[in-house]
Amino acid sequence: MPNEFTRRVRDVIRSIPRGKVASYGQVAASAGDSRQARQVAWILHSSSEKAGLPWHRVVGSRGKISLVPSRGGREQRRLLESEGVRFDRSGTIDLGKYGWNPAGIKISVLARLDLDKLTED
DNA sequence: CCTATGACAGACA
DNA sequence: GTGTCTGCCATAG
């Protein structure tokens, strides 16, 4: 049975809108533990947990697909492109355009707030 | 118990 | 821009 964190991760991923992407770390943070980016990856890696999820909307923090092309990467890119997400020549997604921003906070503001440092204490 | 492994991320050269 | 290193932590063996 999935634990609490796993359930939350699934909820978060389910709430990523079509045509948007979120990073593993972002999903982990939204699920309550910003240190669990790798666990998010693990959850998606185990196929049983990702059933029914828009798993393709989760990418690396730099806007690149983390999967090796031959092991799902091509499929992920195809799914994203079918939702209107564009890739540049080097296979990178413009997170400014397609990055999911649940709070609707302006990117420039986010950068200046430096949320990690604020929540560290 | 101990080591290896990741669909990670940030820092740095 | 790229490549390397380090911290991270649940799972697997």
A67: domain CATH number is 1.10.10.10
In angstroms, the CA A59 to CA A6 distance is 18
Closest by CA to A30, choosing from A54, A49, A5, is: A5
The spacing between the Cα labelled CA in A90 and the C1' in C1, in angstroms, equals 11
Predicted TM-score (pTM) of the model is 0.85
Report if residue A80 sits inside a domain: yes
Q: Which domain holds residue A12?
A: 4-112
Positive or negative, the CA dihedral A110, A112, A116, A120 is negative
In angstroms, the CA A107 to CA A57 distance is 19
Quick: pLDDT tens for A47-80.
666 678 999 999 999 999 999 998 999 999 999 9
Indicate the number of domains in chain A. 1
Quick: pLDDT tens for A108-118.
444 444 444 44
Report if residue A118 sits inside a domain: no
A34 touches strand B (CB under 7 A): no
Nucleotide lying nearest to A73, CA to C1' measure: B7
Report if residue A32 sits inside a domain: yes
The spacing between the Cα labelled CA in A67 and the C1' in B3, in angstroms, equals 25
Report if residue A120 sits inside a domain: no
Report if residue A101 sits inside a domain: yes
The spacing between the Cα labelled CA in A39 and the C1' in C5, in angstroms, equals 21
Q: Give one word for A19, left, alpha or beta, with left for phi > 0 and alpha for psi -120 to 50.
A: left
